[in-house]
Structure 1
Amino acid sequence: MGRPATYTTDRFLDAAVRLFAEGGARAVTMAATAKAAGAPNGSIYHRFPDRAALLARLWQRTARDFQDTFTAALADAAGVDAAVAAATSVVHWCREHPDGGRVLDAGMPAFSPESWSAEAKEAVAKDEAALRHALKNATRRLPSLTGCTDEEVVLALVEIPRAVVHRYLATGRTPPPKAVTLVERTVRKLLSA
């Protein structure tokens, strides 16, 4: 039985997220990531063949973690309370993972997806399709329960929380507790009108 790996994929990705939060995509190099993980330079190549693979996995892991939280909250979008819970889950996630929030706030284009492997692009597309499916289900259910249009539902579930967290993440700040309250009140007003 072999010994456990000292430098895991997650350790490198955690370091890459921190580097991105501090200096953007340019800061996420193979050498810098290895150094931030406390690993020898060569060890990162056992996990990622090149920088494009590192950036792809950084985006994918962060987006998937966020999407898992959001879609779990959205799964029971059976009324205003469930929709508010889904919308506020965006702020809660960004408060718990401010560096990850900065990754998502930057958007996928910041991670040079044109240089990703076909497998990485396919994996991200599959995750995005799952998110679109969850949102589509919510936009089918919530209008009849709230009297809102499907566009208002998307505004409530996606655009309002995104705008609120962006105000903080774009300036290097973690969304404060009042951001949760702002999203909750705004979404509730919109869906209850």
Structure 2
Amino acid sequence: MPRPRVHDLDLLLDAAERLVADVGPERFTVRGLATASGVSNGAIYHAFGSLPVLLGRVWLRAAGDFLDLQVELVDAVRPDDPDGGVRSVLAAASAPAVFADRRPEAARMLMGVHRDRLLGPDLPQESAEAMFALDKRVLALLTRLARALWGRADGPSVEVVTLCVVDLPTAVFRRELTGPCADGRPRIGADSRARLEAAVRAVLTLPPPLPPHGARTTGSGKE
């Protein structure tokens, strides 16, 4: 059975994203992916080896692309902007909406399916290491944003940034990203985007609490 070519693998992963977003990982099957993609069951197994490996690749690709976009948006903030710290957090918080414009199926999957439902106990070591590396990159971005705002990256400051770039966007955008859409392309309206910005700015008007005495800062300080 010939192995799919590299560009075919991307198309296969695109189809898998759509299926996971539509039916959830519990109802996702290789047979269903074969039907949706036109690639045979044997070729899919030859390319990925097992269903857990396939689902891990689907999630890790989408999550990695999302983080790349988030960093890109933060990097686009001018370093000499006097409000650069706040604007950087706003840029990171806006990433789910921008990602939905560019990669709608991936955005629906990341918002609607928690990674623990895709990355189960049978995840191979290589995928587990990739997930750990991705988590480290996320933490590096959070600490970078905290330092830009307050010159510190302790637990409380990183928690406030996490509220702004993870919790608030999830709360504000979830309905539009996971609700029904006729063409599979979720649309986050201007009102939701404006309300998210207002919420993030409101949170950032209060500085984070001081860390407990003797607590260590988060990250290496090299972000």
State the identity as a percent: 30
Measured in 2, the distance between the counterparts of 1:172 and 1:121 equals 32
SS at match of 1:113: coil
Give the partner amino acid of 1:74: V
Is 1:185 aligned with 2:211? Answer: no
Q: Determine the structure 2 residue equivalent to 1:160.
A: 168
Aligned residues of 1:92 and 1:180 also touching (Cα < 8 A): no
Residues 98-139 of structure 1 show CA distances to partners (whole Å, capped at 9, x for unaligned) of: 321232121111114211101111111111111111111211
| 111-120 vs 89-98, which moves further | 89-98
Gaps of 5+ in 2: 207-223
Kindly report which structure 2 residues correspond to 1:90-101, keeping only aligned pairs within 5 A, or say none: 90-101=96-107
The normalised TM-score by structure 2 is 0.74
Give the partner amino acid of 2:118: F
Is 1:176 aligned with 2:183? Answer: no
Aligned residues of 1:74 and 1:134 also touching (Cα < 8 A): no
1:60 and 1:80, CA in 2 relative to 1: closer, same or farther beyond 3 A?
same
Measured in 2, the distance between the counterparts of 1:142 and 1:184 equals 16
Larger Rg: 2
Higher helix residue share: 1
Measured in 1, the distance between the counterparts of 2:120 and 2:135 equals 14
Q: Determine the structure 2 residue equivalent to 1:116.
A: 123
Q: Determine the structure 1 residue equivalent to 2:20.
A: 20
Measured in 2, the distance between the counterparts of 1:109 and 1:88 equals 24
> How many residues are aligned here?
187
Q: Determine the structure 1 residue equivalent to 2:211.
A: none
Give the partner amino acid of 1:44: I
Q: Determine the structure 2 residue equivalent to 1:35.
A: 35
Measured in 2, the distance between the counterparts of 1:52 and 1:172 equals 27
Shift of 1:7: 7.0
Gaps of 5+ in 1: none
Q: Determine the structure 2 residue equivalent to 1:136.
A: 143
Residues 46-75 of structure 1 show CA distances to partners (whole Å, capped at 9, x for unaligned) of: 311010110110110011011111122234
SS at match of 1:79: helix
